[in-house]
Every structure is written in C-alpha cells, then in structure tokens.
Structure 1
Amino acid sequence: MRQGRRDGFREFAAGRSGHLYRSACLLASGDTHLAEDLVQETLGRMYLLWGRISRIENPAAYAQTVLVRVFLTHQRRRSAGERPFGEFPGADGAQPVAGGTDPALRLTLLEALGRLAPKDRAVLVLRYWEDRSVEETAEAMKVTSAAVRTRSSRALSRLRGQLGGSLAEFAGH
C-alpha cells in the first residue's frame, strides 16, 4: 500500500515538476532559486496529503493552487522587499523587440512582473499563464471573484504602464 502511494506520487511529481517550475519562475519573476524552493515546498506539501489528494478530480490543478499559496506565504514572510539581481536587457527604458523566443523580451516581461505586488503577479499567472477562470483563480487565492476581476484589471493596467502600453505586441497579437 505504502509503496503504491510513493510510486503514484513519484509519477505525479515527475510529470508535473516542469510545469510547476515554469509557473514558479513567473511568480518569482525569474528567480530560479526561489522557483526551485517553491516547487520543492509545494511537492512536499502534496506528498504529505497524497493519500487524500490522489483521489480528488484534478491533483494537477490542486498542485498549482498549493504553489500559489506557498508563493504568497513566502512573500508575506519576507522581511524586506529587496531582491538582488543584475540589470536586465531593456531596463534602460528601451523598447524590447517583440518575438516568440526573444530572450530579451522574456527578461523584460519577467522584470515587469517582478515589479508587481505578489498578489497581482499571482492573479496574472493564474489567469493568463495557467488559463484559469475567474472562479478558479478566486478559489486558489481565497478571495472573491469580484476581487480577482478587479485585481486582474489593475495588474494588467500596471503591466501596460511598465511596458509602455504595448502589451498586445508582447502577447503575440
């Protein structure tokens, strides 16, 4: 019984780790070390409850919810808002070039996400990276649907302000 539980969790973790890590990188604004810590904490919490979680309808969605909650908890615990990192390309105010695989664009977007408040970042990652509904996002963040709509709108407005109002070109439209 225990071996089957462990094997089931290992299979789940192996299949979801990459996706969790990519989401964590967005939440952590490109801080790969923090992203790894967030994923490790998420998987640790998932393992502790795996007997119950493995029976729910969508353990992958639950893992994403746990990841966001771990991230928000981490942000509340931080004693200082400073984050050490070097200058990103485009940080001098120059407009980055749009493109699907442009590393400078990716870094510029991560930098812009990093300037948002943690809850703003979380709502954007859940709504637009994870493609969750307003209701699913509200449940993951433990807020109302109206709060998600308001926060999404304001966070997108802040992001547009940082990117010079050209968010459509960054979204590939």
Structure 2
Amino acid sequence: MRDAERDREFTEFVTEHRDTLLRIARLLAAGDEAAAEDVVQTTLTRLYVKWRHVRRADNRLGYARASLTHTYVDETRRAHRRRETTVERAVGEREDAQVTTYDGELRAVVVEALASLAPRQRAVVVLRHWLDLDVAETARVLGCSAGTVKSQNARALATLRDALAPTVRPTPEETR
C-alpha cells in the first residue's frame, strides 16, 4: 500500500473514531484526562505502525478498542505509572453527604469509585458494562480466560457497590 493512501485511510479512521477511543480511555483512566490522552496517543501510534494489519480487520474500531485496552493495561503495569492519588475533601464536607441528581456530581462519584478499582478490574468493567462486550469477547480483548473475566467482574462490582452505596441511593420511584 502506498504511504499516501495509508495516511489518508488512517486520518479518516482517526477523524471518525478518536472521540470514541478517548471516551473509553477516560473511563479506563478513571477520569484522568492526561492519562487518557496518553493512552489514546500511544494506541494511535501503534495502530499507525500496524495499519497494514488494521485495515484488513473486519472491525477496525474493535481492533482499536482492543489495542487501547492492551495499551492501558501495559501502561498501568509500568512502575512510573504506579502512584497514589489523593482525594481532597472540601472543608466542612461531610463524608456521608448524599449526592444530588446533578449529573456532574454523580459522574465525579462514579469516576472516583472506578479509580478505586485495580486497572485490570477497571478494564473488565468498562469492556463488559460500558462497551457491552460479552464475557468471551472481553476475555479475548484482555487475553485471559472467561473465568478470569467473571471473577474480576464480580470483585469489581462488589467494590463499586461498597464504594457507591453510601452516596448513590435509589430514589423512591426507583424502589417501587
């Protein structure tokens, strides 16, 4: 394939799908914009280098999602990426304060809960529940067994339930 044709195809792909990849990366990075941008940029670089293989894929976006997930997991394994993050509370903010229905506040609570998950568990939750992949496809993307996906998902959901229970409560209409 000629370089100009490859560049054109790749540019069209990036123009069409970069926002989608960035949304997935934000979830994987638990709201860390800089980390999400880094993961997307690394993924796009890898895709460009392997474009000859990517262009033959039946589902280019699926290929890119898998690559993005692998890049994220690889990045979280690196020692320089392992760092603690602190969550500062506003002065006078009660720890047991209820979250209002304002989406921005709820989003912050959910992102914080996602951040509490181990990177692989976060990847399983994003793939299974945000991208709606089945267990087999999630296992394929992550390069593990279906049993591993199920156990990681169960642990992650238990952690999320515990983290979100004090702040996210169903409204009376939802409990009927």
TM-score, normalised with respect to structure 2? 0.87
The answer to whether the Cα contact below 8 Å between 2:98 and 2:167 also exists between their aligned partners in 1 is no
Which residue matches 2:58?
Answer: 57
SS in 2 for 1:109: helix
Which residue matches 1:17?
Answer: 18
Work out whether 1:97 is the aligned partner of 2:123.
Answer: no
Work out whether 1:113 is the aligned partner of 2:128.
Answer: no
2:85 pairs with one of 83, 86, 93? 83
Which amino acid counterpart does residue 113 of structure 1 have in structure 2?
A: L
SS in 2 for 1:10: helix
Provide closer, same or farther for how the CA distance between residues 168 and 152 of structure 1 changes in structure 2, counting only shifts above 3 A. farther
Looking at structure 2, the residues matched to 41 and 151 of structure 1 have their Cα atoms a distance apart, in angstroms, of 26
Residues 44-83 of structure 1 deviation map (CA, whole Å, 9 limit, x = unaligned) = 0000000111111001011111111111111110343313
Provide closer, same or farther for how the CA distance between residues 167 and 51 of structure 1 changes in structure 2, counting only shifts above 3 A. farther
The Cα of 1:97 is off from its aligned counterpart by: 2.6
Q: Which deviates more from structure 2 when the two are superposed, residues 109-118 or residues 78-87?
A: 78-87
The answer to whether the Cα contact below 8 Å between 1:91 and 1:108 also exists between their aligned partners in 2 is no
Looking at structure 1, the residues matched to 5 and 132 of structure 2 have their Cα atoms a distance apart, in angstroms, of 32
Looking at structure 1, the residues matched to 23 and 140 of structure 2 have their Cα atoms a distance apart, in angstroms, of 21
The Cα of 1:151 is off from its aligned counterpart by: 1.0
The Cα of 1:146 is off from its aligned counterpart by: 1.1
Which amino acid counterpart does residue 151 of structure 1 have in structure 2?
A: Q
Long gaps (5+) in structure 2: none
Looking at structure 1, the residues matched to 72 and 101 of structure 2 have their Cα atoms a distance apart, in angstroms, of 29
The answer to whether the Cα contact below 8 Å between 2:97 and 2:167 also exists between their aligned partners in 1 is no
Work out whether 1:133 is the aligned partner of 2:140.
Answer: no
SS in 1 for 2:99: coil
Looking at structure 2, the residues matched to 73 and 138 of structure 1 have their Cα atoms a distance apart, in angstroms, of 16
Provide closer, same or farther for how the CA distance between residues 109 and 91 of structure 1 changes in structure 2, counting only shifts above 3 A. farther
Looking at structure 1, the residues matched to 166 and 153 of structure 2 have their Cα atoms a distance apart, in angstroms, of 16
Which residue matches 1:147?
Answer: 148
Looking at structure 2, the residues matched to 56 and 76 of structure 1 have their Cα atoms a distance apart, in angstroms, of 28
Looking at structure 1, the residues matched to 94 and 112 of structure 2 have their Cα atoms a distance apart, in angstroms, of 8
Decide which structure has the larger Cα Rg and report it: 2
Number of aligned residue pairs: 168
Long gaps (5+) in structure 1: none
Residues 99-155 of structure 1 deviation map (CA, whole Å, 9 limit, x = unaligned) = 6xx100001100000011111100000001111111110011111011111111111
TM-score, normalised with respect to structure 1? 0.88
What is the percent sequence identity of the aligned residues? 36
